[in-house]
Structure 1
Amino acid sequence: MQPVVHLAVGYVCYALYTRRRRDAIPHDGAAIAAILGAALPDLLDKPIWLVGIVDVGRTIGHSLLFALPLLVALGLHARSSDREVLAVAFAVGYLSHVGTDVPWHVLAGDVHELGFLLWPITPMPPYSGTKSLATVPGLEVTVMTLWLEAVVLVAGIGLWWVDGKPGLEAVARALSG
């Protein structure tokens, strides 16, 4: 999944969670935490891949062996500092990222590419890239994962917009001064 789509998915997952648990939309801090959580796996893995430290762009940040202890530690710290809402938002965003990297591989039959889930215990072969999902009969048009990702991105931005763009003003204020 493209990195920007993960941000939208992280927000959508947390927004659905807050609607179900609290019958509310995410507040600024929680929205930002969910989006940052959704960004972290790529922020950890892509730079070390781009500079050649590792051969693939899904290693430590995408591994449950790193993510789960990180999220437990964050949760324990948040509990002691009365910031549990932010820790939950971050965890939902983070786990949405890792979780949404799984279906494309399963649907395309590339389950061997799921090695990132338990890296470094399991190997992570090179990512084969955008996947073909189906061919539209009669048109001979191949539906690619990028098409579905574009729909998810637009839907996520739409929900965030309808929710009042939580987090935008806080980030703008932080950047301006």
Structure 2
Amino acid sequence: MWPWGHLALGYLCYLPYEYRARGDASTWLAVGALAVGTQFPDLVDKPLAWTVGVLPSGRSLAHSVLALVVVCGAVYLLCRHAERVVVSVAFGIGYVSHLVGDSVGHVLAGEYEYLVFLVWPLLGTPPYGDEGGFLSHFANLELTSFLAFQFALCVVALGAFLVVQYRLGRAWH
């Protein structure tokens, strides 16, 4: 999934928590933590694999459920100490939605061997071959049905965001 798809999916996953569990709208700090959580695995793994070369794949360390538990646990402890638990929940929802977003295409295609990144390093890395780097990924960007789905998610998420802002009286005039 591309960064904008992860952001949109994360925001749409966060909305039910925001209104059902809490009954109010989150602070900008929580929404910021959500945004960081939706990008966190790629912000760690892609540079360390593609630029520095210390990880075997752009989906390895931070894409592992093992790392998710450790990182989200640490974020929770920090936020609990600062009495901002909702910020840790937002980050966690973003992080989990990232892993779901990177997995769903493989699940739908029946490509289960590509899901081993979820338990890295226990089962190794997916058989991606040469992953290239940042520029090669953007250069090879093609309009596929999955990319179109991500753009549609962005439109829905933006609409939901604007509705939330309007209902909070933060509408732009």
State yes or no: 1:29 paired with 2:12.
no
Aligned amino acid, residue 118 of structure 1: V
Equivalent residue, structure 2, for 1:137: none
- Kindly state the Cα deviation for residue 4 of structure 1 after the two structures are TM-superposed: 1.7
State how far apart, in whole Å, the 2-side matches of 1:49 and 1:4 are: 21
1:80-105 Cα offsets, whole Å, 9 max, x none, are 22111111111111111112221110
Equivalent residue, structure 2, for 1:173: none
Native 8 Å contact 2:4 2:150 kept in 1: no
State how far apart, in whole Å, the 1-side matches of 2:15 and 2:26 are: 6
Native 8 Å contact 2:55 2:61 kept in 1: no
| Count of residue pairs the alignment pairs up | 154
Equivalent residue, structure 1, for 2:135: none
State how far apart, in whole Å, the 2-side matches of 1:76 and 1:54 are: 27
Aligned amino acid, residue 47 of structure 2: P
State how far apart, in whole Å, the 2-side matches of 1:162 and 1:93 are: 20
- Kindly state the Cα deviation for residue 24 of structure 1 after the two structures are TM-superposed: 2.3
Higher mean C-alpha deviation, range 70-79 or range 108-117: 70-79
Equivalent residue, structure 2, for 1:109: 110
Aligned amino acid, residue 102 of structure 1: S
RMSD: 2.3
State how far apart, in whole Å, the 1-side matches of 2:89 and 2:164 are: 19
Aligned amino acid, residue 121 of structure 2: P
Matches within 5 A, 1:132-143: none
Equivalent residue, structure 1, for 2:38: 38
State how far apart, in whole Å, the 2-side matches of 1:21 and 1:31 are: 16
Q: State the TM-score, normalized to the length of structure 1.
A: 0.78
State how far apart, in whole Å, the 2-side matches of 1:28 and 1:147 are: 28
Aligned amino acid, residue 122 of structure 2: I
Matches within 5 A, 1:13-28: 13-28=13-28
State how far apart, in whole Å, the 2-side matches of 1:33 and 1:54 are: 25
Q: State the TM-score, normalized to the length of structure 2.
A: 0.80
Higher mean C-alpha deviation, range 29-38 or range 6-15: 6-15
- Kindly state the Cα deviation for residue 154 of structure 1 after the two structures are TM-superposed: 1.5
Native 8 Å contact 1:37 1:92 kept in 2: yes
Unaligned runs of 5+ residues in structure 1 are 130-142, 170-177
State how far apart, in whole Å, the 1-side matches of 2:159 and 2:127 are: 33
Aligned amino acid, residue 96 of structure 1: S
- Larger % of strand: which? 1
Aligned amino acid, residue 45 of structure 2: D
Unaligned runs of 5+ residues in structure 2 are 132-143
Equivalent residue, structure 1, for 2:140: none
1:148-176 Cα offsets, whole Å, 9 max, x none, are 112112111221222229xxx9xxxxxxx
Equivalent residue, structure 2, for 1:87: 88
State how far apart, in whole Å, the 2-side matches of 1:85 and 1:39 are: 18
State how far apart, in whole Å, the 2-side matches of 1:50 and 1:75 are: 29
